[in-house]
Structure 1
Amino acid sequence: MSDTAAASPGHFGPDLAEVFGPSQQDGGPELVQLLTPEGERVHHAEFDHDFSAEELRGFYRDMVLTRRIDTEATALQRHGELGIWAQLLGQEAAQIGAGRALRPQDYVFPTYREHGVAYTRGIDPLDLLGLFRGVDQGAWDPAEKNFGLYTIVIGAQVLHGVGYAMGIQRDGAVGTGDPDRDAAVIAHFGDGASSQGDVNEGFIFAASYNAPVVFFCQNNQWAISEPIERQTRIPLYQRALGFGFPGVRVDGNDVLATYAVTKAALQRARDGQGPTFIEAYTYRMGAHTTTDDPTRYRLSDDVESWKLKDPIERLKVYLRRNGLVDQQFFDDLDDEAKELGHHLREGCKALPDPQPMSVFDHVYTEMTDELAAQRDGYEAYLASFEGSDH
Structure 2
Amino acid sequence: MQPLAQPPRQAPIATPPLLRLIDDAGHAAPAAESGGFALPPLTTLLRLYRQMVVARRFEAQVTALTRQGRLATYPSALGQEACEIAAVASLAPEDWLFPTYRDSIALLTRGVPPEQILASFRGDWHSGYDQQQHRIAPQATPLATQALHAVGLATAAKLKRHSTVALTLLGDGATSEGDAHEAFNFAAVWQAPVVFLVQNNQFAISVPLDKQMACRTIADKAIGYGMPGYYVDGNDVAAMYAVVTAAIDRARSGGGPTLIEGLTYRIEAHTNSDDPSRYRNAADVDVWRGRDPIERLEKYLVSEGALPAAERADITREAEELAAATRDCMTRQATSDPLELFDHLYSPSSARPALAEQRAFLAAELAELAAPSTDKGANR
Is the CA contact (8 Å cut-off) linking 2:147 and 2:168 kept in structure 1?
A: yes
Question: Aligned partners of 2:254, 2:35: CA distance in 1, in Å?
Answer: 20
**Structure 2 residue aligned with 1:315:** 297
Question: Aligned partners of 1:347, 1:210: CA distance in 2, in Å?
Answer: 43
**Structure 1 residue aligned with 2:10:** none
**Could you report, residue by residue, the CA deviation over 1:267-298 in whole angstroms, capped at 9, with x for unpaired residues?**
11111111111111100001111111111111
**Could you report, residue by residue, the CA deviation over 1:116-148 in whole angstroms, capped at 9, with x for unpaired residues?**
321232111221112211112323221121111
**Could you report, residue by residue, the CA deviation over 1:330-354 in whole angstroms, capped at 9, with x for unpaired residues?**
2222222111111000112225321
Question: Aligned partners of 1:364, 1:154: CA distance in 2, in Å?
Answer: 26
* AA matched with 1:156: T
C-alpha deviation, 1:373, in angstroms: 4.8
Q: Identify if the C-alpha distance between structure 1 residues 206 and 385 changes in structure 2 by more than 3 Å, giving closer, same or farther.
A: same
Question: Aligned partners of 1:369, 1:309: CA distance in 2, in Å?
Answer: 58
Unaligned runs of 5+ in 2: 1-12, 375-380
Matching of residues 296-335 of structure 1 within 5 Å: 296-335=278-317
Question: Aligned partners of 1:315, 1:119: CA distance in 2, in Å?
Answer: 20
Matched, 1:103 2:96: no
C-alpha deviation, 1:37, in angstroms: 0.8
**RMSD across aligned positions (CA):** 2.0
Q: Which moved more, 1:315-324 or 1:281-290?
A: 315-324
Q: Secondary structure at the residue paired with 1:150?
A: coil
Aligned with 1:170 (options 156, 159, 175): 159
C-alpha deviation, 1:33, in angstroms: 0.4
Matched, 1:139 2:132: no
Matching of residues 80-91 of structure 1 within 5 Å: 80-91=69-80
* AA matched with 2:351: M
Aligned with 2:351 (options 364, 367, 373): 367
Aligned with 2:41 (options 34, 38, 52): 52
C-alpha deviation, 1:385, in angstroms: 4.2
Q: Identify if the C-alpha distance between structure 1 residues 229 and 373 changes in structure 2 by more than 3 Å, giving closer, same or farther.
A: farther
Aligned with 1:204 (options 185, 188, 195): 185
Q: Identify if the C-alpha distance between structure 1 residues 241 and 170 changes in structure 2 by more than 3 Å, giving closer, same or farther.
A: same
Unaligned runs of 5+ in 1: 1-25, 174-181
Q: Identify if the C-alpha distance between structure 1 residues 386 and 127 changes in structure 2 by more than 3 Å, giving closer, same or farther.
A: closer
* AA matched with 1:37: D
Is the CA contact (8 Å cut-off) linking 1:27 and 1:238 kept in structure 2?
A: no
Question: Aligned partners of 1:267, 1:314: CA distance in 2, in Å?
Answer: 27
C-alpha deviation, 1:204, in angstroms: 1.7
Q: Using structure 1 for the length normalisation, give the TM-score.
A: 0.86
Is the CA contact (8 Å cut-off) linking 1:94 and 1:252 kept in structure 2?
A: yes
**Structure 2 residue aligned with 1:223:** 204
* AA matched with 1:318: Y
Question: Aligned partners of 1:297, 1:84: CA distance in 2, in Å?
Answer: 20
Is the CA contact (8 Å cut-off) linking 1:88 and 1:284 kept in structure 2?
A: yes
**Structure 2 residue aligned with 1:125:** 114
**Structure 1 residue aligned with 2:23:** 36
Q: Identify if the C-alpha distance between structure 1 residues 28 and 310 changes in structure 2 by more than 3 Å, giving closer, same or farther.
A: closer
Is the CA contact (8 Å cut-off) linking 2:59 and 2:105 kept in structure 1?
A: no
Q: Secondary structure at the residue paired with 1:278?
A: strand
Is the CA contact (8 Å cut-off) linking 1:162 and 1:202 kept in structure 2?
A: yes
Matching of residues 157-196 of structure 1 within 5 Å: 157-173=146-162, 182-196=163-177
Question: Aligned partners of 2:246, 2:14: CA distance in 1, in Å?
Answer: 19
Q: Which moved more, 1:36-45 or 1:257-266?
A: 36-45
Q: Identify if the C-alpha distance between structure 1 residues 146 and 386 changes in structure 2 by more than 3 Å, giving closer, same or farther.
A: closer
C-alpha deviation, 1:367, in angstroms: 3.0
Larger-Rg structure: 2
Q: Identify if the C-alpha distance between structure 1 residues 159 and 374 changes in structure 2 by more than 3 Å, giving closer, same or farther.
A: farther
**Structure 1 residue aligned with 2:7:** none
Is the CA contact (8 Å cut-off) linking 2:73 and 2:121 kept in structure 1?
A: yes
* AA matched with 2:243: V
C-alpha deviation, 1:356, in angstroms: 1.3
**Could you report, residue by residue, the CA deviation over 1:185-213 in whole angstroms, capped at 9, with x for unpaired residues?**
10111111111111111112111211111
Q: Which moved more, 1:74-83 or 1:322-331?
A: 322-331
* AA matched with 2:150: G
**Structure 1 residue aligned with 2:320:** 338
**Structure 2 residue aligned with 1:349:** 331
Is the CA contact (8 Å cut-off) linking 1:135 and 1:351 kept in structure 2?
A: no
Q: Secondary structure at the residue paired with 2:118?
A: helix
Question: Aligned partners of 1:68, 1:342: CA distance in 2, in Å?
Answer: 10
C-alpha deviation, 1:100, in angstroms: 0.7
